[in-house]
Amino acid sequence: MNAASRTTDPPAPAPDWATRLEALRAETREVDAAVAGRRFLSVGGTGFVGRYLVEELLARGAAEVRILCRTPPRGAHHPRVTFATGNVTRPEVARAACRGMDAVIHSAAVYGNPPFGSLGPGQDVADTNVRGVESSLAAARAESVADFVYTSSANVVFDGTPRLEADESTPYAMGRRLDHYTRSKIAAERLVLAANGGGLRTGILRPNGIYGPREQYITGKVVPLVRMLRGLPFSLDPSQRTDWTFVYNLVWAHLLWLRRVREAPAEVAGKAYFITDGEAVHTLQDVVGAMVRGLGYPGRAFVRVPRFLMVGGCAVQERLCWWLRDLGLRPLFTRTEALKAVTTNTHSIERARTLLGYRPLVGTAEGLGYMGAELRARGEPDGH
């Protein structure tokens, strides 16, 4: 590889995330009592967010963390981790998984095929993201589970319209071109909110763009593209801003909800909460750019891609791949993903601050540093 294609001075390694994590746990012992000695069912505990949640519950003294999944991962497991296997949409599977649990944390979801696509019936997305939640809620109530917290998405209010500091009074997104994932999250949220009461306390957390070490979806798209282009030679609207959610900030919000829903159930339960880093950044230049620099490539942009070309090009790509789906073609980015990248959309975390005591523990620049360090640890760019 030509040495000129790499930056002369790669970014300095970020502080070790494992060390920082231990310090954060020591600083936030106030939530331990909401976890210690309790039994939790994690629906989606083998996914990106779910793994962090499971690890945190164990670190904070949970008596048991049961993971509901189709197939348990191979290898040794923590002695306080158990597995319930099967499809969460089947009532008997969900009920067996909930038996004996104190709380359910539901972070399982599928993005669709293609992810965030809007074409076709989207039945696979609805089956997992809606029927799975419906089954879990019914099982939790039948087994007298006290608390049910659902990991949703800020996408539920995103319809392509620019918004600054959208709060929980913002209506759900509407429109015939809404992607299947967003539709499913809206439907699931309605189920969770309606289920609150009668001995079951429910709540919803809405992150926006979850990132951090071990993340695979965003990096799985960005890294191959960056390697192919030897950097990031294009830019988008420089005025675009959005807020992202470092994965541990989201985990922290779950812990706070578990604590506060026991202290003030009437105030806290039955509500949705936006959870972000509380900072507005540029999706391409700041977030993707950090990944590019983390891999050691230059972040110089030579071409400005206008909004209509970015969104329109991705929409055409999505449709062509849908028509040719039998050939196994998948779009690099869908129309929804393009819209998110070029549209300003930020969210108020005031409700979470006020009712949960939430504050972002890790800032976006710091979080991207940990992510960049982990990307470097995964392997050097091709040809290095």
pLDDT confidence of residue 34: 97
Of 106, 108, 59, the closest CA to residue 81 belongs to 59
Contacts of 356 (CB under 8 A, 6+ apart): 253, 256, 257, 260, 268, 273
Preceding omega of 331 cis (within 30 degrees of 0): no
What is the pTM (predicted TM-score) of this model? Answer: 0.92
> Hunting for tokens 């009532």 — which residue is that?
91
pLDDT at position 265 is 97
At residue 147, φ and ψ (nearest 5 deg) are: -130, 140
Q: Is the dihedral of CA 119, 125, 129, 130 positive or negative?
A: positive
- Residue 380: its pLDDT value, please? 46
E strands within the chain? 39-43, 64-69, 81-85, 103-106, 147-151, 163-166, 201-207, 210-211, 234-235, 245-246, 271-275, 303-304, 345-347
**230 in any annotated domain:** no
Alpha-carbon gap, residue 59 to 51, rounded angstroms: 12
Residues in the chain predicted with pLDDT less than 50, given as ranges, are: 1-14, 380-384
Task: Yes or no: say if 296 and 79 are a contact pair by the CB < 8 Å rule.
Answer: no
CA distances from 238 to 95, 223, 285, 343 (A): 50, 22, 8, 11
CB 356 within 8 A of CB 268: yes
Q: What is the 3-state secondary structure (H, E, C) of 9-31?
A: CCCCCCCCHHHHHHHHHHHCHHH
**232 three-state secondary structure:** coil
- pLDDT for the residue numbered 9: 36
265-269 contacts, C-beta under 8 A, 24 or more apart = 265/201, 267/355, 268/201, 268/203, 268/355, 268/356, 269/196, 269/201, 269/202, 269/203
Domain of residue 53 covers 12-212+243-279+346-363
In a domain, 315, yes or no: no
Does residue 320 lie within any of the structural domains?
A: no
Angle at 23 between CA 20 and CA 26, to 5 degrees: 155
Q: What is the CATH number of the domain that holds 105?
A: 3.40.50.720
Query: How many domains is the chain built from?
Result: 1
Q: 149: burial class by Cβ within 10 Å (0-12, 13-18, 19+)?
A: buried
Burial 269-282 (b: 16+ CB within 10 A, else e): bbbbbbbbbbbbbb
Neighbour count for residue 113 (Cβ, 10 Å) = 13
**172 burial via Cβ count (<10 Å: 0-12, 13-18, 19+):** middle
**pLDDT at position 231:** 81
Let me know if residue 309 belongs to a domain. no
Residue 207 lies in a domain: yes
Residue whose tokens read 């942009």: 301
Helix (H, G, I), strand (E, B) or coil at 277: coil
Phi, psi of 217 (to 5 degrees): -70, -55
Question: Has residue 311 been placed in a domain?
Answer: no
272: nearest Cα among 184, 355, 361, 364 = 355
The answer to whether residues 111 and 217 touch, using CB atoms and an 8 Å cutoff, is yes
Q: Is residue 285 part of a domain?
A: no
Query: Residue 261 domain-assigned?
Result: yes
